[in-house]
Structure 1
């Protein structure tokens, strides 16, 4: 094969295949590592956009609503993710840590969701992609490893195991929002057929 546009590489093992769109409901799977390469679904764009909007809404609430409350010897304190990030705002390296916490946990997941909406909204309406749609979708894919909301939830779960022996811990609404957000993000990434999106963007540029 010499036509690179007619080929697809497995994102896990880099095996090359001739790209051929399966029927709706079917999947093209890597023969070596069984990674799903192409999986067109009916109304997939609308579902991915709905999940992206849900991510933005949940992240807004999860950032500012109470996340955890701690009760020790009759004294209680509740804080949000935003409060926890501001606690590091003492200047120097701690301020950099605060910016990284907000960026990796809050801003990047929201930015990815907004970029997905920017790219998919015109496509779902059957219109020409907006300007720089290819760059926006590429950026959303490049940011995927840096979206660490799920890492934050895992870290909190580990910390709670140790803190629960020392104090009474209460879960605020933001905790459950974050948990739902992680699950929705996984569903969104699993439902998104990237090959079809790239193919649609390429055809629109011709």
Structure 2
């Protein structure tokens, strides 16, 4: 009779160990982050892969998409839309705070994730790009390039280049009221790699203006 309460206590302690992680007070909906972290910590993806049920990357992306991906939400300061540039999915953030006739700055952003995880529609990247558009009073184009294992190298690079080339066309820049000489490209982790590759290619291209700056974070 005493074994059942002991086992219940042990299971509760183990679950609490996996699910609970200390987080800053500024994190919204921390329970979602804790659940995703617990799923990853228990190697759910590896288990499904080893059992032949699914590729581990599919499992990880399912967890990310289930808890983190959100639709476009505009605010008074930023207009957010999902669209496609040359067949590549992008999320565009446009600041609504500018003077009449004033041209905007712009950033082409590429998310991280090892070319296999993540999305421009994730809550974290949505918040980052939204903040950049608001602070710069400009336009941020967050590219949702295709992911491995469906898309193999160099398809991620091709998607990033194709969407960037489309955006840098004079008619498209004019549509978004962007100054051609004030466009940069940026990204984090694997997205930083893509940003550097896109910037180098555009510097050598004779079609359209090259980015005026490039940055990357790890």
TM-score normalised by the chain length of structure 1: 0.26
Structure with the bigger RCO (C-alpha within 8 Å, sep 6+) is: 1
Q: Which structure shows the higher strand fraction?
A: 2
Q: Which structure shows the higher helix fraction?
A: 1
